[in-house]
């Protein structure tokens, strides 16, 4: 066992290059190689033999040691034989071997050059003589045995080998004069003295190997070598065992066969446990082993041609346990063993591998192929390009699988760059179960670690095979999810990519197309079926996109999910988030059924069935959840938008059909909203239906939008109004609250644009061009109820509530206040009387001013009864009926009776009579005509009398044509009459007037009553004492008058000529006028009128007022105190 130092790269640089110190170079004489020096030693031995010759043969047989004088004599003779060298030795022994062959043994041998430089040190030199030569009288060596000695084996940069002795002091070598090994042998053995030399043996040789190509050097001790000669054939065998700074020893055996006449030779090397990195530098054919860290055993055989060039090299390599590791920074790729058989052809620069096999924890494989060496211009390859065929492969890289995964075989196109290490795979074709996986990429051994860039593709693979090839430790959660949730799939167009740089996490990409996919994306939700599309894993993000496919819901049939994607944003996160980007088309029932699947139960929580509507949906949305079992609703978030077509529901609006041709839909965890234009029954609506989906929703939903306000609306919701009450079409905003197991509550608001309204009893109407405000709130059901009804339009203001009967007809409409302009302010109630019957109207208080409006008007159609209880019914500016109570029938017009008090004083009663004009006429009766006239402010001191007054509508609102008849009226202290009587000064009448009063048996008048004044067209009052006729104007507001007439005294007798005069006038009468305030009128009497007959009396007064219209009023408006011309009529 010998010791070998580690490669002495730095120490040997100077020696390998052949340089020596300048001081030493001067002492170095020209020298020759190892075999030259060995030949000189042999010639010295011949000289020794000649000295001792034949005379001592017997002594030699005994093996004696030569005395000192003999050693000196031998040294002298050797010095003479070697003029350029000096040989010294410690002892000289002569003897014969067992074959009686003479031997000379020198010990402690040193060979010097002429300058005394030590060239060779040997422990012993044993020389055997040729007996044949001795018998012929010649001295020739037959065998030489060396013990000790230091050899230097050099390989120049061009690969040529040379060998030389080295002295023990490290000097005595001159590489510049060394020749090729074959030349040195030839020159040595061609010397005559060595012609009979057949064998040279060497033991205990120290060897130093200097490699100029790699710049490294190795040293070893204890080597053995044997050189044999048979004719011109030379064989050399040697071996050495090396111990270095390793746990194992390396052994080398060398054999060489050549010819003295030719440079052609064969050599072989057997080695055991040589480090791969050291072996890689010895031949271009072994350069590919440079990245391997393992002991290698094997053999190399090669030839050398006549020019000394290396011929084909055959190699057998058995590689022990080790690793692929280009440098210390790269993570080693271990293997248990490897084997390679190859032949290297230097001329072609090609290596033919008959076998490359590897066995490791990652798997086993056997390959064959060829490699071409590139960049050989310097004599050493820079790279290799190889085509490899691999047989069956059993792989389990890094123990990723429970057991080896077997592949049928592979082929590869490779390029290996040696320094720095880079393995490029042009196309790696892995055959597996009839399919081929194509891989390409590069692996680089950088200074800071491995750099890997690999891409792959595959036409198709069975899903179960994919899971077999997917290591359980790589993306285990994704693998488990796929294993558990993908029920079936066909894969195609598979792509793979891996990028890994030192110090960074690997970047992996996997993409593939698929068809016939059946998978569960959320537990307990129906699976996706018959789906095709593509999927990928990139930047730790897993995405699967469905180009076609469907989900079969529990109810409603299939939902087409083409365009749906499922995403895991980061597959590294345990129980991490996941996304489903939904694209769904199907029935509304199917879509709602999916939303109501566990764990969502959105519809169940909202108290709604999945069958709440028919139609189709086209949805786009997103579902976010956690990758875990037993998801809670809080761990699932979704947002969906889309369109609904051909929708129809009898559930959303209880008791009504809701239909739409197209709607938009939005849904999330908070609510489901459907918006667009639809119809409730026949009524157009536009709005949004919102169904809260939260845990506290309770099934309530809401509809907000616009609805048509028309007769169709009234018909659909069972609201019965008199015909013509609503015409046209308008829009109303509506808000409907749909509660679970309860009638829907609604609120409606409209500006009434486009809607015509008419309330016949109030003689009120709103044109379609006008606007207002309508607010209605209540509940929808059977029947519907209106809790709030507020209308403000066209001067009408009303607020109340409506209750309907179970059959949909009006039960009661109660209005706390109804106002029309400034003439109506009442509280009213409409009481239904059944389907098809007009309601009963009950007015329970308030005021009506007939000066500006008309009450009780109708269209002559079928109307309901009216019960009026008014606080005040104003007839004119000065006349009002208080405590007005009436019971009317409106069928065919308003008719009925009433009672009241005039201005709160005198009670009256009367009748309401329909007219053809549509407004009501009144007949008023009173047994206290005087009190009535006093209450009306006409005659303050009238008494008694029976009154019958008929008022017929005329002209505008509040205007009536009246006929008055009073019997047995007594008038006392009436200012106007008093002033008239005082002016005429008829004796007796004045006393009677201020006494018991004047008694009129009858009072008759025809007049026009307007809201502002009383126009008397014909009036008369007659009694036994006096007769009066009168016409003119009375301002009801200012109490001013402008009257004219005739006073006929002693009317009992004077009335004889009444046939030729007006009622109330006699044959003799005085024309008079009363103008001014009724309390103190200005009286004008024409005394001449008493002289004219009655029929001629007209010339003294103005024309009577006309009933068709009012006469023009002079400037100033009221009568002046001056006497007007007789023909002038002035309005008071």
Task: For residue 171, name the pLDDT band (cuts at 50, 70, 90).
Answer: low
Residue with the larger pLDDT of the pair 863 and 457: 457
CB atoms within 10 A of CB 141: 25
pLDDT of residue 235: 92
Q: How far apart are CA 704 and CA 997, in angstroms?
A: 76
pLDDT of residue 1090: 67
The tally of CA atoms less than 13 A away on the side-chain side of residue 709 is: 24
Report residue 1066: phi and psi, to 5°.
-105, -170
pLDDT of residue 172: 46
Residue with the larger pLDDT of the pair 1110 and 835: 835
pLDDT of residue 1032: 92
Distance of CA 323 to the CA centre of its chain: 48
Q: For 149-157, what is the mean pLDDT?
A: 81
Burial class (CB in 10 A: 0-12, 13-18, 19+), 842: middle
- Mean pLDDT value across the chain: 81
Q: How far apart are CA 545 and CA 261, in angstroms?
A: 80
Q: How far apart are CA 930 and CA 939, in angstroms?
A: 7
- Report pLDDT digits (tens) over 203-258: 988 888 888 877 778 888 888 999 999 988 999 999 988 776 677 778 889 999 98
- State the chain's maximal CA–CA distance in angstroms: 229
Angle, CA of 716, 717 and 719, to the nearest 5°: 110
pLDDT of residue 282: 86
Could you tell me which of 101, 149, 97 has the C-alpha nearest to residue 125?
Answer: 149
Lowest mean pLDDT among 46-60, 771-785, 841-855, 894-908: 46-60
Q: How far apart are CA 47 and CA 79, in angstroms?
A: 9
Structure-token pair, residue 675: 């918006």
pLDDT of residue 532: 93
- Report pLDDT digits (tens) over 893-933: 778 899 999 999 999 999 988 887 767 788 999 999 888 88
pLDDT at 1057 over 80: no
Element (H, E) at 779: strand 772-780
- Report pLDDT digits (tens) over 869-897: 999 988 777 788 999 999 888 776 778 89
Domain ranges of the chain: 1-221, 520-648+660-668, 972-1132
pLDDT at 15 over 50: no
pLDDT at 140 over 80: no
- Report pLDDT digits (tens) over 638-658: 898 999 899 898 887 777 888
pLDDT of residue 82: 67
Please tell me the total number of residues recorded for the chain in this structure.
Answer: 1132
Alpha-carbon distance values, 817 to 792, 824, 857 (Å): 12, 10, 20
pLDDT at 139 over 70: no
Task: For residue 27, name the pLDDT band (cuts at 50, 70, 90).
Answer: very low
pLDDT of residue 244: 67
Q: How far apart are CA 441 and CA 1127, in angstroms?
A: 129
pLDDT of residue 1124: 36
- In 824-983, DSSP assigns E strands to 824-831, 840-849, 866-874, 880-889, 895-902, 906-914, 920-926, 942-943, 946-953, 960-971
Could you tell me which of 1101, 1107, 1105 has the C-alpha nearest to residue 1124?
Answer: 1101
286 contacts 314 by C-beta, under 8 angstroms: no
Write the CB contacts of 742 (distance below 8 Å, at least 6 apart in sequence).
none
pLDDT at 797 over 90: yes
Q: How far apart are CA 865 and CA 1089, in angstroms?
A: 56
Q: For 257-274, what is the mean pLDDT?
A: 89
Lowest mean pLDDT among 116-130, 168-182, 548-562: 168-182
Q: Percent of the chain having pLDDT more than 70? A: 83
* Helix count and strand count (H, E) for the chain: 17, 66
- Report pLDDT digits (tens) over 983-1038: 666 655 666 666 677 888 999 999 998 878 889 999 988 887 888 888 999 888 78
- Report pLDDT digits (tens) over 554-590: 888 898 989 988 898 988 888 889 998 988 899 988 8
Residue with the larger pLDDT of the pair 81 and 39: 81
494 contacts 458 by C-beta, under 8 angstroms: yes
Task: For residue 1110, name the pLDDT band (cuts at 50, 70, 90).
Answer: very low
pLDDT at 958 over 90: no
Residue with the larger pLDDT of the pair 96 and 394: 394
pLDDT of residue 665: 86
Q: For 522-550, what is the mean pLDDT?
A: 87
Total-model pTM? 0.60
1017 contacts 1107 by C-beta, under 8 angstroms: yes
Could you tell me which of 236, 238, 254, 244 has the C-alpha nearest to residue 218?
Answer: 244
Q: For 1078-1103, what is the mean pLDDT?
A: 72
Task: For residue 1125, name the pLDDT band (cuts at 50, 70, 90).
Answer: very low
pLDDT at 743 over 90: no
848 contacts 768 by C-beta, under 8 angstroms: no
Q: How far apart are CA 482 and CA 407, in angstroms?
A: 23
Sign of CA dihedral 707, 710, 711, 712: negative
Element (H, E) at 929: helix 929-935
Task: For residue 742, name the pLDDT band (cuts at 50, 70, 90).
Answer: confident
- Site of tokens 């006699």: 1066
pLDDT of residue 690: 85
Angle, CA of 643, 647 and 651, to the nearest 5°: 125
DSSP 8-state symbol, 722:
-
Lowest mean pLDDT among 111-120, 280-289, 547-556, 575-584: 111-120
Task: For residue 591, name the pLDDT band (cuts at 50, 70, 90).
Answer: confident
Q: How far apart are CA 403 and CA 984, in angstroms?
A: 148
Q: How far apart are CA 889 and CA 863, in angstroms?
A: 7
């Amino acid at each position: 066992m010998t010791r070998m130092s580690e490669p002495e790269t730095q120490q040997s640089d100077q020696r390998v290059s052949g340089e020596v110190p300048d001081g030493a170079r001067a002492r170095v004489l020209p020298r020759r190689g190892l075999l030259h020096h060995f030949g000189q030693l042999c010639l010295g031995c011949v000289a020794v033999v000649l000295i001792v010759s034949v005379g001592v043969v017997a002594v030699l047989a005994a093996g004696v040691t030569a005395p000192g004088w003999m050693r000196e004599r031998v040294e002298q003779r050797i010095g003479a034989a070697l003029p350029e060298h000096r040989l010294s030795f410690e002892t000289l022994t002569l003897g014969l071997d067992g074959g009686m062959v003479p031997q000379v043994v020198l010990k402690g041998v040193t060979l010097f050059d002429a300058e005394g430089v030590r060239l060779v040190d040997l422990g012993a030199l044993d020389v055997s003589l040729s007996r044949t030569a001795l018998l012929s009288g010649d001295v020739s060596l037959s065998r030489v045995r060396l013990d000790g000695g230091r050899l230097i084996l050099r390989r120049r940069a061009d690969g040529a080998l040379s060998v030389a002795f080295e002295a023990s002091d490290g000097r005595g070598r001159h590489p510049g004069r060394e020749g090729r090994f074959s030349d040195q042998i030839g020159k040595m053995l061609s010397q005559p003295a060595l012609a009979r030399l057949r064998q040279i043996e060497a033991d205990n040789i120290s060897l130093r190997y200097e490699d100029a190509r790699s710049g490294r050097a190795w040293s070893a001790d204890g080597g053995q070598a044997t050189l044999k000669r048979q004719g011109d054939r030379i064989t050399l065998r040697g071996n050495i065992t090396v111990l270095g700074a390793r746990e194992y020893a390396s052994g080398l055996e060398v054999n060489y066969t050549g010819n003295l006449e030719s440079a052609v030779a064969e050599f072989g090397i057997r080695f055991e446990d040589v480090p791969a990195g050291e072996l890689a530098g010895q031949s271009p054919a072994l350069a590919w082993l440079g990245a391997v860290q393992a002991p290698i055993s094997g053999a190399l055989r090669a030839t050398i041609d006549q020019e000394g060039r290396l011929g084909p090299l055959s190699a057998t390599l058995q590689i022990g346990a080790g690793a692929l590791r280009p440098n210390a920074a790269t993570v080693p790729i271990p293997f248990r063993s490897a084997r390679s058989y190859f032949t290297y052809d230097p001329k072609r620069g090609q290596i033919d591998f008959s076998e490359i096999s590897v066995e490791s924890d990652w798997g086993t494989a056997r390959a064959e192929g060829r490699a071409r060496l590139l960049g050989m211009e310097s004599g050493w390859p820079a790279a290799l390009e190889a085509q490899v065929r691999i047989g069956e492969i059993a792989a389990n890289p890094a123990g990723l699988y429970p057991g080896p995964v077997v592949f049928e075989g592979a082929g590869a196109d490779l390029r290996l760059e040696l320094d720095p290490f880079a393995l490029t795979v042009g196309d790696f074709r892995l055959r597996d179960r009839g399919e081929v996986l194509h891989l390409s990429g590069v692996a680089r051994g950088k200074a800071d670690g491995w750099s890997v860039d690999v891409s792959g593709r595959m036409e198709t693979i069975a899903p179960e095979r994919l899971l077999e090839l997917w290591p359980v430790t790589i993306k285990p959660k994704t693998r488990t999810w796929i294993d558990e949730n993908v029920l079936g799939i066909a894969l195609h167009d598979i792509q793979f990519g891996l990028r890994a740089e030192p110090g960074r996490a690997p970047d992996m990409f996997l993409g593939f197309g698929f068809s016939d996919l059946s998978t569960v994306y959320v537990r307990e939700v129906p699976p996706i079926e018959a789906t095709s599309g593509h999927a990928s894993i990139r930047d730790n993000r897993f995405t699967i996109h469905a180009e076609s496919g469907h989900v079969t819901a529990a109810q409603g049939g299939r939902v087409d999910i083409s365009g749906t994607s499922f995403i895991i944003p980061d597959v590294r996160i345990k129980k991490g988030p996941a996304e489903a980007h939904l694209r769904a088309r199907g029935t509304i029932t199917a879509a709602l059924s999916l939303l109501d699947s566990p764990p969502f139960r959105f519809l169940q929580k909202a108290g709604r069935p999945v069958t709440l509507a028919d139609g189709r949906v086209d949805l786009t949305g997103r579902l976010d959840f956690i990758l875990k079992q037993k998801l809670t609703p809080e761990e699932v978030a979704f947002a969906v938008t889309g369109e609904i077509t051909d929708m129809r529901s009898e559930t959303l609006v209880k008791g009504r059909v809701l239909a739409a041709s197209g709607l938009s839909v939005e849904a999330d965890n908070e609510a489901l909203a459907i918006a667009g234009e639809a119809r409730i029954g026949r009524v157009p609506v536009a709005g949004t239906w919102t169904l809260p989906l939260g845990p506290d929703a309770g099934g309530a939903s809401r509809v907000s939008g616009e609805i048509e306000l028309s007769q169709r609306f009234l018909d659909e919701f069972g609201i019965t109004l008199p015909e013509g009450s609503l015409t046209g079409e308008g829009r109303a905003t509506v808000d409907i609250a749909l509660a679970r197991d309860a009638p829907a509550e609604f609120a409606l608001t409209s500006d009434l644009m486009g809607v015509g309204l008419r309330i016949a009893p109030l003689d009120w109407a709103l044109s379609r061009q006008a606007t207002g405000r309508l607010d209605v709130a209540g509940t929808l059901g059977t029947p519907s109820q209106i809790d709030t009804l507020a209308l403000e339009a066209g001067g009408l203001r009303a607020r109340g509530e409506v209750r309907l009967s179970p059959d949909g007809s009006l039960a009661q409409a109660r209005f706390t206040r109804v106002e029309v302009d400034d003439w109506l302010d009442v509280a009213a109630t409409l009481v239904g009387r059944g389907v098809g019957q007009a309601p009963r109207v009950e007015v329970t208080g308030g005021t009506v001013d007939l000066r500006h409006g008309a009450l009780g008007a109708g269209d002559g159609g079928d109307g309901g009864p009216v019960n009026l209880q008014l606080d005040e019914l104003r007839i004119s500016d000065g006349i009002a009926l208080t405590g007005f109570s009436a019971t009317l029938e409106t069928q065919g017009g308003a008719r009925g009776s009433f009672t009241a008090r005039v201005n709160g004083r005198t009670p009256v009663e009367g009748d309401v009579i329909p007219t053809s004009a549509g407004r009501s006429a009144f007949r008023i009766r009173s047994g206290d005509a005087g009190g009535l006239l006093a209450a009306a402010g006409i005659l303050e001191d009238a008494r008694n009398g029976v009154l019958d007054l008929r008022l017929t509508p005329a002209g505008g609102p509040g205007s009536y044509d009246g006929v008055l008849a009073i019997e047995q009226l007594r008038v006392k202290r009436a200012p106007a009459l008093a002033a008239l009587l005082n002016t005429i000064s008829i004796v007796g009448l004045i006393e009677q007037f201020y006494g018991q009063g004047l008694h009129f048996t009858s009072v008759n008048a025809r007049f026009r009553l307007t809201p502002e004044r009383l126009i008397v067209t014909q009036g008369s009052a007659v009694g036994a004492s006096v007769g009066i006729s009168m016409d003119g104007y009375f301002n009801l507001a200012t109490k001013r008058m402008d009257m004219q007439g005739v006073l006929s005294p002693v009317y009992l007798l004077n009335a004889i000529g009444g046939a030729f005069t007006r009622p109330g006038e006699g044959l003799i009468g005085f024309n008079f006028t009363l103008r001014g305030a009724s309390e103190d009128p200005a009286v004008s009497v024409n005394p001449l009128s008493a002289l004219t007959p009655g029929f001629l009396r007209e010339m003294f007064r103005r024309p009577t007022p006309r009933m068709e219209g009012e006469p023009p009023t002079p400037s100033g408006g009221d009568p002046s105190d001056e006497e007007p011309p007789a023909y002038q009529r002035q309005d008071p």
